[in-house]
Structure 1
Amino acid sequence: MRTWFITGSSAGLGRTLTEKLLKRGDRVAATLRKTHALDDLKAEYGDRLWIAQLDVTHIPAIHQVMQDAFNALGRIDVIVNNAGYGLFGSVEEASDDQIRKQIETNIMGSIQIIRAALPYLRAQGEGRIIQLSSAGGQATYPNYGYYHMTKWGIEGFAETVAKEISIFNIGLTIVEPGALRNGFVSNMDSATPMEVYAQTPAGEVRRLIQNNAFPIPGDPEKTAQAIIDSVDVTPAPLRLALGPDAYTAIRSSLVSRLDSLDAQKDIAMSTKVEE
Protein backbone atom coordinates (compact mmCIF):
# COMPACT_ATOMS: atom_id res chain seq x y z
CA MET A 1 0.00 0.00 0.00
CA ARG A 2 1.28 3.43 -0.98
CA THR A 3 0.21 6.86 0.19
CA TRP A 4 -0.33 9.52 -2.48
CA PHE A 5 -0.72 13.30 -2.29
CA ILE A 6 -2.73 14.61 -5.26
CA THR A 7 -3.62 18.20 -6.09
CA GLY A 8 -6.67 19.07 -8.16
CA SER A 9 -8.55 15.93 -7.11
CA SER A 10 -12.14 17.09 -7.60
CA ALA A 11 -12.45 16.31 -11.31
CA GLY A 12 -10.64 15.17 -14.42
CA LEU A 13 -7.44 13.17 -14.17
CA GLY A 14 -7.01 13.97 -10.47
CA ARG A 15 -10.38 12.45 -9.65
CA THR A 16 -9.70 9.40 -11.83
CA LEU A 17 -6.35 8.81 -10.12
CA THR A 18 -7.93 9.17 -6.69
CA GLU A 19 -10.68 6.67 -7.49
CA LYS A 20 -8.27 4.09 -8.92
CA LEU A 21 -5.83 4.33 -6.04
CA LEU A 22 -8.52 4.00 -3.37
CA LYS A 23 -10.10 1.08 -5.19
CA ARG A 24 -6.82 -0.82 -5.22
CA GLY A 25 -6.23 -0.23 -1.49
CA ASP A 26 -3.87 2.75 -1.37
CA ARG A 27 -4.25 5.87 0.76
CA VAL A 28 -4.78 9.28 -0.82
CA ALA A 29 -4.29 12.78 0.53
CA ALA A 30 -6.56 14.67 -1.85
CA THR A 31 -6.47 18.44 -2.12
CA LEU A 32 -9.03 20.52 -3.95
CA ARG A 33 -10.79 23.85 -3.75
CA LYS A 34 -14.27 22.42 -3.03
CA THR A 35 -13.92 19.57 -0.55
CA HIS A 36 -17.53 18.39 -0.88
CA ALA A 37 -16.68 17.14 -4.38
CA LEU A 38 -15.23 13.98 -2.82
CA ASP A 39 -17.99 13.33 -0.28
CA ASP A 40 -18.97 10.12 -2.08
CA LEU A 41 -15.44 8.72 -1.95
CA LYS A 42 -15.00 9.75 1.68
CA ALA A 43 -18.19 7.90 2.60
CA GLU A 44 -16.97 4.78 0.79
CA TYR A 45 -13.30 4.71 1.81
CA GLY A 46 -13.22 6.50 5.17
CA ASP A 47 -9.78 7.03 6.69
CA ARG A 48 -7.94 5.96 3.53
CA LEU A 49 -9.00 9.29 2.01
CA TRP A 50 -7.60 12.42 3.67
CA ILE A 51 -9.06 15.62 2.26
CA ALA A 52 -7.90 19.22 2.51
CA GLN A 53 -9.03 22.41 0.86
CA LEU A 54 -6.26 23.98 -1.20
CA ASP A 55 -5.93 26.63 -3.88
CA VAL A 56 -2.41 26.17 -5.26
CA THR A 57 -2.12 29.89 -5.97
CA HIS A 58 -1.98 30.51 -2.18
CA ILE A 59 1.62 29.71 -1.27
CA PRO A 60 1.35 29.78 2.57
CA ALA A 61 -1.60 27.39 2.34
CA ILE A 62 0.47 24.94 0.29
CA HIS A 63 3.10 24.65 3.01
CA GLN A 64 0.49 24.32 5.75
CA VAL A 65 -1.47 21.62 3.93
CA MET A 66 1.70 19.69 3.11
CA GLN A 67 2.71 19.76 6.79
CA ASP A 68 -0.77 18.71 7.88
CA ALA A 69 -0.80 15.82 5.40
CA PHE A 70 2.55 14.40 6.51
CA ASN A 71 1.61 14.86 10.17
CA ALA A 72 -1.69 13.07 9.68
CA LEU A 73 -0.47 10.23 7.48
CA GLY A 74 3.07 9.67 8.73
CA ARG A 75 4.62 9.32 5.31
CA ILE A 76 3.69 10.06 1.71
CA ASP A 77 5.23 7.99 -1.05
CA VAL A 78 4.10 9.89 -4.16
CA ILE A 79 3.40 13.59 -4.77
CA VAL A 80 1.20 14.21 -7.81
CA ASN A 81 1.31 17.79 -9.05
CA ASN A 82 -1.93 17.69 -11.02
CA ALA A 83 -3.84 20.94 -10.36
CA GLY A 84 -3.90 23.08 -13.48
CA TYR A 85 -5.61 25.91 -15.30
CA GLY A 86 -6.10 26.09 -19.04
CA LEU A 87 -6.36 29.36 -20.97
CA PHE A 88 -7.50 29.30 -24.60
CA GLY A 89 -6.93 32.30 -26.85
CA SER A 90 -4.33 34.04 -28.97
CA VAL A 91 -1.61 35.93 -27.13
CA GLU A 92 -3.23 39.26 -28.04
CA GLU A 93 -6.71 38.26 -26.88
CA ALA A 94 -5.99 37.16 -23.31
CA SER A 95 -6.45 39.54 -20.39
CA ASP A 96 -3.72 40.31 -17.86
CA ASP A 97 -5.76 38.60 -15.13
CA GLN A 98 -6.08 35.43 -17.21
CA ILE A 99 -2.35 35.40 -17.95
CA ARG A 100 -1.54 35.92 -14.28
CA LYS A 101 -3.83 33.06 -13.23
CA GLN A 102 -2.22 30.79 -15.83
CA ILE A 103 1.25 31.47 -14.44
CA GLU A 104 0.29 31.38 -10.75
CA THR A 105 -1.54 28.05 -11.08
CA ASN A 106 0.57 26.04 -13.50
CA ILE A 107 4.05 27.33 -12.70
CA MET A 108 4.12 28.88 -9.23
CA GLY A 109 1.65 26.38 -7.79
CA SER A 110 3.59 23.40 -9.10
CA ILE A 111 6.93 24.85 -7.99
CA GLN A 112 5.68 25.48 -4.46
CA ILE A 113 4.13 22.00 -4.09
CA ILE A 114 7.52 20.48 -4.93
CA ARG A 115 9.38 22.87 -2.63
CA ALA A 116 6.97 22.12 0.21
CA ALA A 117 7.26 18.34 -0.24
CA LEU A 118 11.01 17.96 -0.63
CA PRO A 119 12.05 18.35 3.04
CA TYR A 120 9.64 15.57 4.04
CA LEU A 121 10.67 13.26 1.20
CA ARG A 122 14.34 13.76 2.04
CA ALA A 123 13.66 13.06 5.71
CA GLN A 124 11.96 9.76 4.94
CA GLY A 125 14.77 8.78 2.55
CA GLU A 126 12.73 8.16 -0.58
CA GLY A 127 9.78 9.24 -2.64
CA ARG A 128 8.46 9.97 -6.10
CA ILE A 129 7.15 13.17 -7.66
CA ILE A 130 4.76 13.09 -10.61
CA GLN A 131 4.64 16.44 -12.42
CA LEU A 132 1.70 16.72 -14.80
CA SER A 133 2.65 18.55 -17.94
CA SER A 134 1.16 17.99 -21.39
CA ALA A 135 2.09 17.15 -24.96
CA GLY A 136 1.92 20.94 -25.05
CA GLY A 137 5.08 21.00 -22.97
CA GLN A 138 7.01 19.88 -26.06
CA ALA A 139 4.79 20.86 -28.99
CA THR A 140 2.66 23.94 -29.70
CA TYR A 141 -0.71 24.85 -31.21
CA PRO A 142 -2.27 28.25 -31.99
CA ASN A 143 -4.45 29.64 -29.16
CA TYR A 144 -2.55 27.77 -26.45
CA GLY A 145 0.42 30.15 -26.14
CA TYR A 146 0.06 30.93 -22.44
CA TYR A 147 -0.76 27.32 -21.57
CA HIS A 148 2.33 26.19 -23.52
CA MET A 149 4.42 28.80 -21.77
CA THR A 150 3.60 27.31 -18.38
CA LYS A 151 4.09 23.71 -19.50
CA TRP A 152 7.40 24.36 -21.24
CA GLY A 153 8.47 26.32 -18.16
CA ILE A 154 7.51 23.72 -15.60
CA GLU A 155 9.22 21.00 -17.63
CA GLY A 156 12.51 22.90 -17.50
CA PHE A 157 12.09 23.38 -13.77
CA ALA A 158 11.12 19.76 -13.12
CA GLU A 159 13.96 18.35 -15.21
CA THR A 160 16.42 20.42 -13.17
CA VAL A 161 14.83 19.25 -9.91
CA ALA A 162 15.15 15.62 -11.03
CA LYS A 163 18.92 16.09 -11.36
CA GLU A 164 19.15 17.69 -7.92
CA ILE A 165 17.12 15.16 -5.93
CA SER A 166 18.12 11.76 -7.34
CA ILE A 167 20.98 11.66 -4.81
CA PHE A 168 18.32 11.59 -2.07
CA ASN A 169 16.57 8.55 -3.60
CA ILE A 170 13.69 10.74 -4.84
CA GLY A 171 12.55 10.21 -8.41
CA LEU A 172 10.63 12.62 -10.62
CA THR A 173 8.57 11.93 -13.74
CA ILE A 174 7.13 14.56 -16.09
CA VAL A 175 3.86 13.22 -17.52
CA GLU A 176 2.87 14.51 -20.97
CA PRO A 177 -0.68 13.45 -21.84
CA GLY A 178 -2.39 14.33 -25.07
CA ALA A 179 -6.02 15.47 -25.22
CA LEU A 180 -8.11 13.45 -22.74
CA ARG A 181 -11.82 12.76 -22.88
CA ASN A 182 -12.39 14.23 -19.45
CA GLY A 183 -13.71 17.65 -20.41
CA PHE A 184 -10.48 19.60 -19.86
CA VAL A 185 -10.24 20.93 -23.42
CA SER A 186 -13.87 22.02 -23.61
CA ASN A 187 -13.74 23.56 -20.10
CA MET A 188 -10.68 25.75 -20.62
CA ASP A 189 -11.06 29.43 -19.85
CA SER A 190 -11.41 31.36 -23.10
CA ALA A 191 -10.20 34.82 -23.99
CA THR A 192 -12.56 37.19 -25.80
CA PRO A 193 -12.05 36.59 -29.55
CA MET A 194 -10.78 39.34 -31.80
CA GLU A 195 -12.24 39.43 -35.30
CA VAL A 196 -8.82 40.06 -36.82
CA TYR A 197 -7.83 36.49 -35.88
CA ALA A 198 -10.93 34.83 -37.41
CA GLN A 199 -9.22 33.83 -40.66
CA THR A 200 -5.89 32.79 -39.13
CA PRO A 201 -4.57 29.51 -37.70
CA ALA A 202 -5.82 30.70 -34.29
CA GLY A 203 -9.31 31.17 -35.69
CA GLU A 204 -9.22 27.78 -37.37
CA VAL A 205 -8.36 26.01 -34.12
CA ARG A 206 -11.10 27.95 -32.32
CA ARG A 207 -13.67 26.72 -34.84
CA LEU A 208 -12.48 23.13 -34.44
CA ILE A 209 -13.02 23.40 -30.68
CA GLN A 210 -16.43 25.07 -31.07
CA ASN A 211 -17.57 22.40 -33.53
CA ASN A 212 -16.26 19.52 -31.37
CA ALA A 213 -13.98 18.61 -34.27
CA PHE A 214 -10.70 18.82 -32.35
CA PRO A 215 -9.49 15.21 -31.98
CA ILE A 216 -9.52 13.94 -28.39
CA PRO A 217 -8.20 10.35 -28.44
CA GLY A 218 -6.99 9.98 -24.85
CA ASP A 219 -8.66 7.55 -22.43
CA PRO A 220 -8.52 9.03 -18.89
CA GLU A 221 -8.73 5.59 -17.23
CA LYS A 222 -5.82 4.18 -19.22
CA THR A 223 -3.83 7.37 -18.75
CA ALA A 224 -4.32 7.27 -14.97
CA GLN A 225 -3.29 3.61 -14.86
CA ALA A 226 -0.12 4.32 -16.84
CA ILE A 227 0.80 7.03 -14.35
CA ILE A 228 0.21 4.67 -11.42
CA ASP A 229 2.26 1.94 -13.10
CA SER A 230 5.16 4.34 -13.73
CA VAL A 231 5.81 4.56 -9.98
CA ASP A 232 6.89 0.89 -10.05
CA VAL A 233 9.62 1.68 -12.61
CA THR A 234 13.09 2.25 -11.19
CA PRO A 235 14.82 4.54 -11.88
CA ALA A 236 11.92 6.90 -12.45
CA PRO A 237 11.42 7.71 -16.14
CA LEU A 238 12.10 11.42 -16.64
CA ARG A 239 9.26 11.80 -19.13
CA LEU A 240 6.15 9.80 -19.91
CA ALA A 241 4.23 10.64 -23.08
CA LEU A 242 0.67 9.28 -23.00
CA GLY A 243 -1.67 9.14 -25.96
CA PRO A 244 -1.17 8.68 -29.71
CA ASP A 245 -1.56 12.40 -30.30
CA ALA A 246 1.03 13.14 -27.62
CA TYR A 247 3.56 10.73 -29.11
CA THR A 248 3.05 12.03 -32.66
CA ALA A 249 3.14 15.73 -31.74
CA ILE A 250 6.13 15.44 -29.41
CA ARG A 251 8.14 13.34 -31.86
CA SER A 252 7.41 15.71 -34.74
CA SER A 253 8.44 18.69 -32.63
CA LEU A 254 11.66 17.08 -31.45
CA VAL A 255 12.68 15.90 -34.94
CA SER A 256 11.99 19.35 -36.38
CA ARG A 257 14.02 21.05 -33.65
CA LEU A 258 16.90 18.61 -34.08
CA ASP A 259 16.91 19.12 -37.86
CA SER A 260 17.01 22.90 -37.35
CA LEU A 261 19.83 22.58 -34.81
CA ASP A 262 21.89 20.35 -37.07
CA ALA A 263 21.44 22.81 -39.95
CA GLN A 264 23.02 25.49 -37.76
CA LYS A 265 26.00 23.43 -36.62
CA ASP A 266 28.56 25.30 -38.70
CA ILE A 267 27.26 28.67 -37.49
CA ALA A 268 27.32 27.52 -33.87
CA MET A 269 30.86 26.19 -34.11
CA SER A 270 32.10 29.34 -35.90
CA THR A 271 31.38 31.54 -32.86
CA LYS A 272 33.88 29.94 -30.49
CA VAL A 273 36.88 31.86 -29.17
CA GLU A 274 39.96 31.26 -31.26
CA GLU A 275 42.89 30.13 -29.08
Structure 2
Amino acid sequence: MASRTWLITGANSGFGRHLSEQLLSRGDRVVGTFRAPGSVDELSARWPDAFRPARLDLTDPAGITAVVDAAWAALGRIDVVVSNAGYGLMGAAEELTDDQVVHQIATNLTGSIRLIRAALPHLRRQGGGRILQLSSVGGQAAWPGGSLYHATKWGVEGFADALAGEVAPFGIGVTIVEPGSARTNFRYGGSVLAERIEAYDGTPAAGIRRILTERTTEGIGDPALMATAMIASVDRDPAPRRLVLGSDAYQAIEQALTARLEDLHTQREPARATDAPPEGVTISGPADLDA
Protein backbone atom coordinates (compact mmCIF):
# COMPACT_ATOMS: atom_id res chain seq x y z
CA MET A 1 0.00 0.00 0.00
CA ALA A 2 1.30 3.45 -0.91
CA SER A 3 2.19 5.71 1.97
CA ARG A 4 -0.12 8.57 2.89
CA THR A 5 0.28 12.02 4.36
CA TRP A 6 -1.89 12.94 7.34
CA LEU A 7 -2.76 16.13 9.20
CA ILE A 8 -3.71 15.32 12.79
CA THR A 9 -4.73 17.86 15.41
CA GLY A 10 -3.87 17.05 19.01
CA ALA A 11 -1.02 14.72 18.01
CA ASN A 12 0.67 15.05 21.39
CA SER A 13 -1.66 12.80 23.40
CA GLY A 14 -4.58 10.40 23.38
CA PHE A 15 -5.88 9.18 20.03
CA GLY A 16 -3.77 11.74 18.18
CA ARG A 17 -0.60 10.33 19.68
CA HIS A 18 -1.55 6.72 18.97
CA LEU A 19 -2.48 7.57 15.40
CA SER A 20 0.77 9.45 14.82
CA GLU A 21 2.99 6.70 16.21
CA GLN A 22 1.28 3.95 14.24
CA LEU A 23 1.32 5.92 11.00
CA LEU A 24 4.94 7.02 11.33
CA SER A 25 5.99 3.47 12.21
CA ARG A 26 4.54 2.15 8.97
CA GLY A 27 6.15 4.84 6.81
CA ASP A 28 3.45 7.50 6.44
CA ARG A 29 4.07 11.22 6.88
CA VAL A 30 2.29 13.19 9.61
CA VAL A 31 1.72 16.86 10.25
CA GLY A 32 0.88 16.82 13.94
CA THR A 33 -0.44 19.81 15.84
CA PHE A 34 0.08 20.46 19.54
CA ARG A 35 -0.41 23.21 22.12
CA ALA A 36 2.11 22.50 24.90
CA PRO A 37 5.78 23.17 23.97
CA GLY A 38 7.87 20.01 24.05
CA SER A 39 4.90 17.64 23.91
CA VAL A 40 5.82 16.20 20.50
CA ASP A 41 9.62 16.37 20.77
CA GLU A 42 9.88 12.59 20.95
CA LEU A 43 8.01 12.19 17.68
CA SER A 44 10.25 14.76 16.02
CA ALA A 45 13.36 13.01 17.31
CA ARG A 46 12.29 9.52 16.23
CA TRP A 47 10.95 10.50 12.80
CA PRO A 48 12.71 13.76 11.85
CA ASP A 49 11.99 13.34 8.14
CA ALA A 50 8.41 12.11 8.39
CA PHE A 51 6.94 14.12 11.26
CA ARG A 52 6.21 17.81 10.88
CA PRO A 53 5.18 19.51 14.16
CA ALA A 54 2.90 22.54 14.12
CA ARG A 55 1.84 24.48 17.18
CA LEU A 56 -1.88 25.26 17.05
CA ASP A 57 -4.64 26.55 19.29
CA LEU A 58 -8.02 25.72 17.78
CA THR A 59 -9.51 28.91 19.22
CA ASP A 60 -7.22 30.92 16.89
CA PRO A 61 -8.91 31.20 13.45
CA ALA A 62 -5.90 32.79 11.73
CA GLY A 63 -3.62 30.17 13.24
CA ILE A 64 -5.74 27.34 11.84
CA THR A 65 -5.60 28.74 8.32
CA ALA A 66 -1.87 29.37 8.57
CA VAL A 67 -1.08 25.83 9.77
CA VAL A 68 -3.26 24.18 7.12
CA ASP A 69 -1.91 26.31 4.27
CA ALA A 70 1.70 25.81 5.42
CA ALA A 71 1.23 22.03 5.61
CA TRP A 72 -0.01 21.83 2.02
CA ALA A 73 2.65 24.24 0.79
CA ALA A 74 5.41 22.18 2.38
CA LEU A 75 4.17 18.70 1.48
CA GLY A 76 2.19 19.21 -1.71
CA ARG A 77 -0.58 16.79 -0.80
CA ILE A 78 -2.36 15.69 2.36
CA ASP A 79 -4.48 12.59 2.01
CA VAL A 80 -6.25 12.51 5.37
CA VAL A 81 -7.28 15.29 7.75
CA VAL A 82 -8.00 14.09 11.30
CA SER A 83 -9.92 16.63 13.37
CA ASN A 84 -9.11 15.17 16.75
CA ALA A 85 -8.13 17.88 19.24
CA GLY A 86 -10.63 18.76 21.94
CA TYR A 87 -11.46 18.33 25.60
CA GLY A 88 -14.38 17.68 27.93
CA LEU A 89 -16.06 20.38 30.01
CA MET A 90 -18.04 18.62 32.73
CA GLY A 91 -20.60 19.82 35.23
CA ALA A 92 -24.24 20.84 35.30
CA ALA A 93 -25.06 23.61 32.84
CA GLU A 94 -25.69 26.08 35.68
CA GLU A 95 -22.29 25.33 37.19
CA LEU A 96 -20.41 26.47 34.09
CA THR A 97 -19.07 29.98 33.61
CA ASP A 98 -19.73 31.94 30.43
CA ASP A 99 -16.02 31.86 29.60
CA GLN A 100 -15.96 28.06 29.97
CA VAL A 101 -18.96 27.71 27.67
CA VAL A 102 -17.40 29.95 25.02
CA HIS A 103 -14.04 28.15 25.15
CA GLN A 104 -15.58 24.68 24.96
CA ILE A 105 -17.60 25.59 21.86
CA ALA A 106 -14.68 27.46 20.28
CA THR A 107 -12.38 24.45 20.69
CA ASN A 108 -14.53 21.39 20.06
CA LEU A 109 -17.10 22.74 17.62
CA THR A 110 -16.02 25.98 15.97
CA GLY A 111 -12.37 24.92 15.88
CA SER A 112 -13.22 21.64 14.16
CA ILE A 113 -15.40 23.42 11.62
CA ARG A 114 -12.71 25.99 10.87
CA LEU A 115 -10.05 23.31 10.47
CA ILE A 116 -12.11 21.38 7.95
CA ARG A 117 -13.18 24.50 6.06
CA ALA A 118 -9.53 25.56 5.78
CA ALA A 119 -8.64 22.14 4.35
CA LEU A 120 -11.49 21.85 1.84
CA PRO A 121 -10.06 24.08 -0.93
CA HIS A 122 -6.84 22.06 -0.86
CA LEU A 123 -8.67 18.73 -0.87
CA ARG A 124 -10.82 19.83 -3.81
CA ARG A 125 -7.85 21.04 -5.83
CA GLN A 126 -5.95 17.81 -5.35
CA GLY A 127 -8.96 15.76 -6.45
CA GLY A 128 -10.08 14.20 -3.17
CA GLY A 129 -9.06 12.92 0.22
CA ARG A 130 -10.52 11.81 3.50
CA ILE A 131 -11.70 13.63 6.63
CA LEU A 132 -11.96 11.88 9.99
CA GLN A 133 -13.94 13.93 12.51
CA LEU A 134 -13.54 12.70 16.08
CA SER A 135 -16.84 12.77 17.90
CA SER A 136 -17.79 10.47 20.76
CA VAL A 137 -20.47 8.16 22.04
CA GLY A 138 -21.51 11.51 23.52
CA GLY A 139 -22.36 12.69 20.02
CA GLN A 140 -25.30 10.26 19.88
CA ALA A 141 -26.18 9.75 23.55
CA ALA A 142 -26.24 12.32 26.35
CA TRP A 143 -25.95 12.20 30.13
CA PRO A 144 -26.49 14.78 32.90
CA GLY A 145 -23.33 16.64 33.80
CA GLY A 146 -22.01 16.83 30.26
CA SER A 147 -24.44 19.22 28.58
CA LEU A 148 -21.88 21.52 26.94
CA TYR A 149 -19.58 18.69 25.87
CA HIS A 150 -22.58 16.94 24.32
CA ALA A 151 -23.63 20.18 22.64
CA THR A 152 -20.28 20.38 20.85
CA LYS A 153 -20.26 16.74 19.81
CA TRP A 154 -23.87 16.70 18.62
CA GLY A 155 -23.12 19.93 16.77
CA VAL A 156 -20.02 18.65 15.05
CA GLU A 157 -21.85 15.46 14.04
CA GLY A 158 -24.56 17.51 12.34
CA PHE A 159 -21.91 19.55 10.55
CA ALA A 160 -19.96 16.50 9.37
CA ASP A 161 -23.09 14.58 8.37
CA ALA A 162 -24.23 17.38 6.06
CA LEU A 163 -20.67 18.05 4.90
CA ALA A 164 -20.33 14.48 3.64
CA GLY A 165 -23.04 15.08 1.06
CA GLU A 166 -21.58 18.43 0.04
CA VAL A 167 -18.07 17.17 -0.69
CA ALA A 168 -18.75 13.68 -2.05
CA PRO A 169 -18.86 15.01 -5.65
CA PHE A 170 -15.23 16.09 -5.23
CA GLY A 171 -14.02 12.67 -4.11
CA ILE A 172 -13.75 13.70 -0.46
CA GLY A 173 -14.98 11.16 2.09
CA VAL A 174 -16.09 12.05 5.61
CA THR A 175 -16.18 9.69 8.59
CA ILE A 176 -17.48 10.57 12.05
CA VAL A 177 -15.62 8.58 14.71
CA GLU A 178 -17.61 7.70 17.84
CA PRO A 179 -15.38 6.14 20.51
CA GLY A 180 -16.66 5.02 23.86
CA SER A 181 -14.59 5.26 27.02
CA ALA A 182 -10.90 4.66 26.32
CA ARG A 183 -7.78 4.35 28.40
CA THR A 184 -6.39 7.74 27.42
CA ASN A 185 -5.77 10.84 29.50
CA PHE A 186 -9.14 12.32 28.44
CA ARG A 187 -11.02 11.37 31.60
CA TYR A 188 -8.49 12.46 34.22
CA GLY A 189 -6.26 14.82 32.27
CA GLY A 190 -8.21 16.11 29.32
CA SER A 191 -11.39 17.14 31.11
CA VAL A 192 -12.26 20.33 32.98
CA LEU A 193 -14.64 20.12 35.94
CA ALA A 194 -16.85 23.13 36.69
CA GLU A 195 -17.09 24.70 40.13
CA ARG A 196 -19.62 22.88 42.31
CA ILE A 197 -23.05 24.26 43.12
CA GLU A 198 -24.23 22.51 46.26
CA ALA A 199 -27.83 22.28 45.07
CA TYR A 200 -26.77 19.67 42.49
CA ASP A 201 -25.27 17.31 45.07
CA GLY A 202 -27.16 14.03 44.94
CA THR A 203 -28.71 14.78 41.55
CA PRO A 204 -27.91 12.90 38.32
CA ALA A 205 -25.59 15.74 37.25
CA ALA A 206 -23.30 14.99 40.19
CA GLY A 207 -22.39 11.56 38.82
CA ILE A 208 -19.69 12.84 36.49
CA ARG A 209 -18.19 14.93 39.30
CA ARG A 210 -17.92 11.81 41.44
CA ILE A 211 -16.18 9.92 38.62
CA LEU A 212 -13.67 12.67 37.95
CA THR A 213 -12.83 13.33 41.59
CA GLU A 214 -12.72 9.76 42.90
CA ARG A 215 -10.67 8.50 39.92
CA THR A 216 -11.68 4.91 40.57
CA THR A 217 -12.81 3.92 37.08
CA GLU A 218 -11.08 3.56 33.74
CA GLY A 219 -12.25 3.28 30.18
CA ILE A 220 -13.01 -0.05 28.55
CA GLY A 221 -11.49 0.77 25.16
CA ASP A 222 -7.91 0.16 24.05
CA PRO A 223 -6.82 3.43 22.40
CA ALA A 224 -4.17 1.72 20.28
CA LEU A 225 -6.74 -0.69 18.81
CA MET A 226 -9.16 2.18 18.28
CA ALA A 227 -6.47 4.13 16.42
CA THR A 228 -5.79 1.08 14.26
CA ALA A 229 -9.50 0.88 13.38
CA MET A 230 -9.54 4.57 12.44
CA ILE A 231 -6.56 4.07 10.13
CA ALA A 232 -8.14 1.00 8.54
CA SER A 233 -11.36 2.95 7.86
CA VAL A 234 -9.47 5.14 5.38
CA ASP A 235 -9.02 2.10 3.12
CA ARG A 236 -12.79 1.58 2.90
CA ASP A 237 -14.51 2.95 -0.18
CA PRO A 238 -16.92 4.58 0.11
CA ALA A 239 -15.98 6.14 3.40
CA PRO A 240 -18.07 4.84 6.31
CA ARG A 241 -20.28 7.68 7.55
CA ARG A 242 -19.81 6.64 11.19
CA LEU A 243 -17.28 4.48 13.00
CA VAL A 244 -18.38 3.25 16.42
CA LEU A 245 -15.51 2.08 18.64
CA GLY A 246 -15.97 0.16 21.88
CA SER A 247 -18.70 -2.16 23.09
CA ASP A 248 -19.89 0.48 25.56
CA ALA A 249 -20.30 2.97 22.72
CA TYR A 250 -22.28 0.49 20.65
CA GLN A 251 -24.59 -0.36 23.54
CA ALA A 252 -25.19 3.25 24.58
CA ILE A 253 -25.83 4.45 21.02
CA GLU A 254 -28.17 1.55 20.31
CA GLN A 255 -30.16 2.31 23.47
CA ALA A 256 -30.31 6.04 22.70
CA LEU A 257 -31.44 5.55 19.10
CA THR A 258 -34.01 2.93 20.07
CA ALA A 259 -35.50 5.23 22.72
CA ARG A 260 -35.64 8.13 20.26
CA LEU A 261 -37.37 5.99 17.63
CA GLU A 262 -39.91 4.71 20.16
CA ASP A 263 -40.68 8.28 21.18
CA LEU A 264 -40.91 9.38 17.54
CA HIS A 265 -43.35 6.62 16.64
CA THR A 266 -45.81 7.85 19.29
CA GLN A 267 -45.90 11.22 17.55
CA ARG A 268 -46.74 10.11 14.01
CA GLU A 269 -50.37 11.19 14.05
CA PRO A 270 -49.91 14.34 16.19
CA ALA A 271 -47.20 15.43 13.75
CA ARG A 272 -49.52 14.93 10.76
CA ALA A 273 -52.23 16.89 12.56
CA THR A 274 -50.16 20.07 12.26
CA ASP A 275 -49.91 19.92 8.43
CA ALA A 276 -51.66 22.67 6.52
CA PRO A 277 -54.68 21.43 4.54
CA PRO A 278 -53.94 20.85 0.83
CA GLU A 279 -54.99 23.70 -1.41
CA GLY A 280 -53.48 22.62 -4.72
CA VAL A 281 -50.08 24.08 -3.83
CA THR A 282 -46.95 21.90 -3.72
CA ILE A 283 -45.63 21.87 -0.18
CA SER A 284 -41.85 21.81 0.29
CA GLY A 285 -40.49 20.05 3.36
CA PRO A 286 -37.16 18.73 4.61
CA ALA A 287 -37.51 15.59 2.47
CA ASP A 288 -37.40 17.72 -0.68
CA LEU A 289 -33.84 18.73 0.13
CA ASP A 290 -32.74 15.20 -0.75
CA ALA A 291 -34.09 15.42 -4.30
TM-score category (smaller protein): over 0.9
Contact in 1 for aligned 2:8/2:82 (Cα 8 Å): yes
Structure-to-structure mapping, 1:7-156, within 5 angstroms: 7-156=9-158
* 3-state secondary structure, aligned to 1:52: strand
* 3-state secondary structure, aligned to 2:131: strand
Within 2, Cα distance between the matches of 1:274 and 1:213?
Answer: 58
Within 1, Cα distance between the matches of 2:140 and 2:36?
Answer: 31
Within 2, Cα distance between the matches of 1:67 and 1:171?
Answer: 20
**Shift, 1:217, TM fit:** 0.4
Contact in 1 for aligned 2:91/2:208 (Cα 8 Å): no
2:222 counterpart of 1:219: yes
Within 1, Cα distance between the matches of 2:241 and 2:222?
Answer: 22
Structure 1 segments of 4+ aligned residues over 6 angstroms from their partners = none
Within 1, Cα distance between the matches of 2:264 and 2:24?
Answer: 46
Q: 1:268 is matched with which residue?
A: 271
Contact in 2 for aligned 1:35/1:51 (Cα 8 Å): no
Identify which of 202, 205, 209 aligns with 1:202.
Answer: 205
Within 1, Cα distance between the matches of 2:176 and 2:214?
Answer: 31
Contact in 1 for aligned 2:61/2:114 (Cα 8 Å): yes
Q: 2:283 is matched with which residue?
A: none
2:239 counterpart of 1:236: yes
Identify which of 245, 248, 264 aligns with 1:245.
Answer: 248
Q: Deviations for 1:23-45, whole angstroms, at most 9, x for unmatched residues? A: 11100001111342111111111
Within 1, Cα distance between the matches of 2:95 and 2:212?
Answer: 17
* 3-state secondary structure, aligned to 1:201: coil
Alpha carbon RMSD of aligned pairs, Å? 1.0
* Alignment TM-score, normalising by the size of structure 1: 0.98
* 3-state secondary structure, aligned to 2:207: helix
Contact in 2 for aligned 1:126/1:170 (Cα 8 Å): yes
* 3-state secondary structure, aligned to 1:176: strand
Q: Which moved more, 1:145-154 or 1:40-49?
A: 40-49
AA partner of residue 60 (structure 1): A
Q: Deviations for 1:158-208, whole angstroms, at most 9, x for unmatched residues? A: 111101000000000000001111120112111011111111111233223
Within 2, Cα distance between the matches of 1:39 and 1:209?
Answer: 29
Within 2, Cα distance between the matches of 1:273 and 1:100?
Answer: 40
Q: Which moved more, 1:128-137 or 1:206-215?
A: 206-215
